[in-house]
Amino acid sequence: MSRQRPRKPLLCRTHLHHKWMTEHTEDGESFMRCTRCGTDRPEVDNGDFGGKNLGAGLAGMGGGGG
């Protein structure tokens, strides 16, 4: 008789919501893991923009009167 694996919660399966918690590797690096399904959160590379809001001009924040 084979055992069935428990299914991932619905919100995790549909990628609508995970419950992220900080975990640590053996060498001390930190990463995020969902406490419900065990999925590791991919790292986001924001690039090197120096923290500037590049989309501000698109939203009308550029100061150019119309």
Q: Looking at residue 16, what DSSP letter applies?
A: S
Helix intervals (H) in 18-63: none
For the stretch 11-53, pLDDT in tens is: 998 889 999 999 999 999 999 999 999 999 988 765 555 555 5
Q: Is residue 62 part of a domain?
A: no
Q: In which element (H, E) is residue 10 found?
A: helix 10-13
Residues in the chain: 66
Residue 44 or 56, more confident? 44
Q: Is residue 63 part of a domain?
A: no
Q: Is residue 30 part of a domain?
A: yes
Q: Is residue 58 part of a domain?
A: no
Q: Which residues form the domain of 37?
A: 8-42
Q: Is residue 51 part of a domain?
A: no
Q: Is residue 19 part of a domain?
A: yes
pLDDT at residue 59, as a whole number: 55
> What is the number of domains present in the chain?
1
Dist. CA 10–CA 27, nearest whole Å: 33
Q: Is residue 47 part of a domain?
A: no
